[in-house]
Every structure is written in structure tokens, then in C-alpha cells.
Structure 1
Amino acid sequence: MAPLGTDRRKVARMPMLLGEAVELYVRARVDRREVRPETARVFREALRPFAAAVGAHRRLDSVERADLQAWLAGLRVAPATVRLRLSTVHGFFSWCVIEGHAERDPTAGLRGPRKPRSVPRSLSDAQVARVLGADLTLREAVLVRLMLDEGLRAQEVAGLELADADLAQRTLVVRHGKGGHERVLPLTDACAQSIEDYLGERGRGAGELVLSETNKRSMVGSGLNPHSTAKLVAEVLARAGVNETGHALRHTFARRLLDAGASLRDVQTALGHASIATTQVYLPFSGVIDLRRYMGEPEAPAA
């Protein structure tokens, strides 16, 4: 072991072979109890084929960026697997640099295939009808309406205070959005009514808007947390026969705005997105609808 204060890279002994370094890396991570044996097995299964492809008997410090690019190009696996393997190799080389076995990390700045951005899943009108027509408690109805009619995230619902809902002015202040941004939304009549109905059960004392099951009356700290909020809404959807998460209600809110003709900027504001690029993933929802609405049958060419 190197004396305290000594740079490990300065006490590196002999040049190490790539295959040797891989085995040493996996053993060291296990011996130091930094990873579980199961994780070490995953590392080994990723790093041994990598070393074989690049050259297990070549010197570790001879591996170049071009070698890694050729290895990546030769992988015949899903993009997600490519990203995982590259991350494992990057962790290996970072360790080699820290331990003094390599002078540099050839994976630095090397990127795998981009993760495709999937189109958010929204509920169909029939699914929405099933959810709203289910036997909902007053509290469940509020949770569903806040996510479906107002587009709130679970964490935003959990962060609402009673004072944030102005039923007279039909407005809702959302103070716990991502990044700490605050926004004001108009309350739909249906959402306002669900809150009014729920307050008859909850009481009108100050505190969290939606309370936990064990606290029927408002007390500080008796509100739902984001996890329990999402779980309750997911249970409602399951009872209605809808195999989606509660976040799909927020996606449905966004899709409905776009279908009604709202601009992308307005939808961004309503959803509380910091960047309009995040909102743009909702465009395919209305894109197909618009095409069906505006594209007629092409005219047959003249004979």
C-alpha cells in the first residue's frame, strides 16, 4: 500500500495488460466491498468480451479511443445495452487511472447511442370515462381531477396546501414544481367541485390540501407524500381496468390542450416545463389527429 500523501499513479509498478487489469478491477471492487458479487459478475461478463475484442494481451495504456469506437461499432446489441456496456468500461478505466495503472481514460468524452425519447402515453376518452365512472372516494376524486384536469405531477399534488386552492376565483397555485418553479392554473369547474366535496370530509383547517387516510382532519405533516399519491392514483386506474400509471393522467391533460388548439408555449406553461423541448414530445399526439382532420383523400390523376 502506498504511504499516505503519495500519488498512486507515481508508484505504479510494471505496465499492465488489459486482461489482467480487468480481473484485478473486478476482484478489487469485491474485496473492498464496493459492489456485491452479483454486480461483479455483471462487470466481468461485460469487461471480458470487451478485453477479448480489443486485445486482452495488449498493454493497458496502449488502448486508444479508436479501439473503443471500433468495439462499439461491432456490438450487435440493443442501444440500451450498448450504453450500459460503455458505462461499465468507463468505470473500469476511471478506476485504472485512480489506481495508477493507466495515465488516461480513453473513454473520456465518448458517448453511446442516444436514448430515444418515447412519446408519452395518454388515456383514451373511453379510459378516462372508466376512471371517472369508477366508485371513487372523495379523496380519490380530488387526486384524479388534479392530475387529469390540472396536469399536476404526483409531487405537486402532495405539495399543495389548502390555501393554494382559491375556489372563489377558480385558481390553483402550484409551488412545488420541478426546479422550484411556481405557476398559477385555472381550476376547472369539475376539479373545484371535487375539492369542495372533499373539504366537507377533510375540514377547512390550514395545512396540506389532501390528507393521509389516518388523518381525517388537517394537521401539519398529515398530508400525502409523492409516493403514496402516485400509488393511490395507480390503484384507482387499476380498479377501472386501465393499465397505466397516474402520470398518464398528466399526459392526457397535455394531449387534450393540444387537441383543443392550445399553443405549445401555453402547454409548456401549464405543465411547468422549464424547456419547451420537453413539451415538444407531446406533438405526435395531435399530429396524427391533425393529419386525419386536414388530409383528404388524394384526387385520382386525370386519365
Structure 2
Amino acid sequence: MVVDPDGVAVEPIAEFLRDLAARCSSPGSVRSYAYALLRWWRWLHRVDVAWDRATVAEVRDLVLWLSQADKPRRTPRTRSASTVGRTNTVTGKPYLSDSYAPRTVRHSNAVIRAFYEFWIEQGEGPLVNPVVLARSRESGRTNAHHNPLRPFRGDGALRHNPKVPRQRPRALADEHWDALFTELRSDRDRAITSLAVSSAARAGELLGMRPIDLDWGDQRIRVVRKGSRAEQWLPASSESFVWLRLYMSGLGTPAADGPLWWTLRPYRRRGGPGMDRRIPGPAGAGLRPLTYPAMRAVLLRANRVLGTNHCWHDLRHTAALRMSRDEDLSIRDVQTVLGHAHITTTAGVYLVEDDDRVIARVAQHLASRDSRTHAPEPVPAQGYDAGALAILLGGDRR
């Protein structure tokens, strides 16, 4: 719920979010839209413009402000203050910065445009959507009078969208994966990381697993997809099931339809005198289900030792790139395992490799081709004439 400075719900935003939820949008999408509209509402309040009187100028000025402003933080940075906005020398990945990323600004523009499209359809709000399309100056309609000597322009691009930098590779090299796996402290951490790097499941999808979602015979796991909320079986490596067995042997007997991943130590809830109590877990151990912050802390501990900045989504990229390098798997197979609706997402986002590795493989390909080209001419077997074979076979008998 988005509220105004007086704590009253903003009715235009509330109505739009209700319509968004009625279109079977996930709770995460509704929450993301709510935060983007909260930022827009604060901006309109700051510049003293009513929401139904907003123009292109307010959208343009918001984009300019976001390009130089810092994101608000609940607590000041301590350990990460020295690395914010820089590039890790081991992985080559940039650290998160305090400024708004271009993708955040583009998402904000898309949300604001959808918000005003909804109210224009209802017959309220401004007559013209303040978030306009980047149409050609020659015509009000994209490619209406297309010049055949020029390429077609994409329809739907927003005028004030910033350019997105080139996608950088996020997959872990084999040596980095080995070092990361070595730094893990428990069988639970080894089991969940090996599942992530072999099944390409998201962190949230792994945390939602239950013991009944494990198929020990066929070595598969069942996850609930993030967007569609559909159940899907994914293959996993035999090594990950070995670590799963070791983890569950020390866990006890969890409920078949309960959480699979639990904390390693008992949790005590703090309160007043006599308020401390243990939360029931497997076999009454007083454990609680593993959360994403606790799961993220596993990688943070390893990153501090290794001097890296790996995250859980890097393991999904690693699994996708490993599968794409297998000649027996097609890109359609990779798309199915990743659960993407469009193959362009698989190829354009997850199969990005380091330029040095690509150049090395191409150089190796050219060297092997040259060696095949300069191979000695095979000698015909006894009783065959070389000239007759050249005429019959075209001169190339390899």
C-alpha cells in the first residue's frame, strides 16, 4: 500500500495495483511496481504537480535526477564502503554502487507509462501519457514511411530511457568454482550450492523446496518457478544428491511437506523476561527454516576469504553456460531448464562469455583448420591411378 505524507492510501495507485494483481501478477511484481510509483509520487509532491497534470517535463526531470542521485540506505555502509562502485580484480565483476542503475530508470519509466495507460483507458488522468515513445521526427508512427536503405526501428522504445551498458559475463570459471566450494563449511551449504550450479534453479526456488520435491531415483528436484508459479522438475548432478544425503542424515527427520533447508544452530527469539523460546524444527531441534539473508551470508563469508564478489545468481549463469557448451544439448534444452519464456533471454543474457575465452577458442579453431588444410596428400593404394582418382573424386579425397 502506497500512502501519502499524512498516512492515507493513495487511491489512484491502490486502484492500479488492484488491477495489476487481478491480472495474475506475482506478489513480487506488484511490490516492485508499488515502489516505482512511490518514487514517482514523491517526485510529484516535491515539484508540486498533481498526478493528473504531469507532463513529459516531469518525466524528463525525474530521469535526470535519478542519473545523479544516490539511492537511500537504511544503514550507512561499513565494510563495503571501500569497494562500492569498483570492479573486483579476481572476478572482473563490478560491485554494487549507490547510484541508480540504467535498468532501474528504464523500469521506472515503464511502470509510470503503464500506470497512466490504465487511467487513460478509464477516462481519467491526463489526455496524453507523459511517458512518450521515441518515435521518428518524420512521422508520428514508427516505420510508417520506412526508407528501404535504412534498418527498421524497434517500436515501443521510450524516449527518456538511458542506454544499458553491455552485458558482462557472470558465470564462474572452473577454478573460481573449485575455490568457492572448498570454502563452504557445512554439508548443507555444499548441497544447496551444488544443486544451484547443476540445476540452474534460482535461490528463491531452492529455498521453497520440500523433502517430497526430491526424486532420488531419477536424481531430479521439483521447484516452483518465480514468474509463472508452475511446478517443474529439473535434473541435478549425482554429486549434489550425495551432499543432500549427508546433510539430511545429520538433520533428522523433517516433515515431508515442510521446508527442506534449515538453520544449523538453534534459534532463540529474544524478548522480555521469560519470553525466550525455541521455534520447533526437525526432531524438535529448535531450528528455523533457512531464509535468503542467511543463505546470502554463506557466500559473503566465502567472498571475504577469497576476495571475490560472487552472488547466488552467478551460479545460475554458470549452469546455463556449462550446458550451452555441451554439444549434446541444444539452446532449446537450456531454455527449458532455465524456464525462460523467450529464447532471446537465454541467449542474450545467460550465455554471455568472456571475450578472452572466446578469442582463445576461435584461435584454436583456426589453428586446427590450418593443420587440416596443410595435411599431406593421401597416397592411393597400390593398383589405383592418382590422376584417375583426381578426376573421379574432384581432387580432394580426404
What TM-score, normalized to structure 1? Answer: 0.61
Contact 2:103/2:164, CA 8 A, preserved across alignment: no
Distance 2:49 2:293 in 1: 33
Distance 1:196 1:175 in 2: 22
Query: What is the 5 A alignment of 1:85-96?
Result: 87=109
Matching residue's letter, 1:256: R
| Corresponding residue of 1:295 | 366
Change (3 A) 1:83 1:237: closer
1:189 to 194, 213, 238: 238
Change (3 A) 1:250 1:107: closer
Matching residue's letter, 1:109: L
- SS of equivalent residue, structure 2 residue 218: coil
2:248 to 187, 195, 199: 199
Change (3 A) 1:233 1:273: farther
- SS of equivalent residue, structure 1 residue 180: coil
| Corresponding residue of 1:276 | 343
Distance 2:164 2:224 in 1: 31
1:210 to 236, 257, 261: 261
- SS of equivalent residue, structure 1 residue 136: coil
Q: Deviations over 1:125-180 (max 9, x none)?
A: 11111012224211111121121122121101110101111223312112244321
Change (3 A) 1:283 1:294: farther
Change (3 A) 1:228 1:101: closer
Distance 2:369 2:171 in 1: 31
Matching residue's letter, 1:276: I
Change (3 A) 1:255 1:204: same
Q: Deviations over 1:239-282 (max 9, x none)?
A: 34432212111111111111222211111112222221110123
| Corresponding residue of 1:38 | none
Change (3 A) 1:274 1:205: same
Determine if the alignment matches structure 1 residue 80 to structure 2 residue 102. Answer: yes
- SS of equivalent residue, structure 1 residue 142: helix
Change (3 A) 1:182 1:45: closer
Cα deviation for residue 231 of structure 1 reads 3.5
Contact 1:234/1:246, CA 8 A, preserved across alignment: no
Unaligned runs of 5+ in 1: 1-22, 33-41, 48-77
Unaligned runs of 5+ in 2: 1-42, 52-60, 67-99, 135-157, 267-279, 371-398
Distance 2:204 2:44 in 1: 44
| Corresponding residue of 2:48 | 28
- SS of equivalent residue, structure 1 residue 173: strand
- SS of equivalent residue, structure 1 residue 183: strand
Distance 1:264 1:140 in 2: 30
| Corresponding residue of 2:318 | 252
- SS of equivalent residue, structure 2 residue 260: coil
Contact 2:172/2:318, CA 8 A, preserved across alignment: yes
Q: Which has the higher helix share?
A: 1
Distance 1:127 1:186 in 2: 23
Contact 2:221/2:235, CA 8 A, preserved across alignment: yes
- SS of equivalent residue, structure 2 residue 353: helix
Query: What is the 5 A alignment of 1:217-256?
Result: 217=282, 222-256=288-322
Identical columns (%) = 24
Query: What is the 5 A alignment of 1:42-121?
Result: 46=65, 80=102, 87=109, 104-105=128-129, 107-110=131-134, 111=158, 112-116=161-165, 118-121=167-170
| Corresponding residue of 2:29 | none
Distance 1:134 1:27 in 2: 51
Cα deviation for residue 24 of structure 1 reads 9.4
Change (3 A) 1:267 1:104: closer
Change (3 A) 1:294 1:193: same
Distance 1:191 1:155 in 2: 18
Contact 1:142/1:194, CA 8 A, preserved across alignment: yes
Q: Deviations over 1:12-61 (max 9, x none)?
A: xxxxxxxxxxx99745369x9xxxxxxxxx859759xxxxxxxxxxxxxx
Contact 1:174/1:184, CA 8 A, preserved across alignment: yes
Distance 2:202 2:125 in 1: 47
Cα deviation for residue 105 of structure 1 reads 4.7
Which stretch of the first structure deviates more once superposed, 229-238 or 153-162?
229-238
Distance 1:173 1:124 in 2: 27
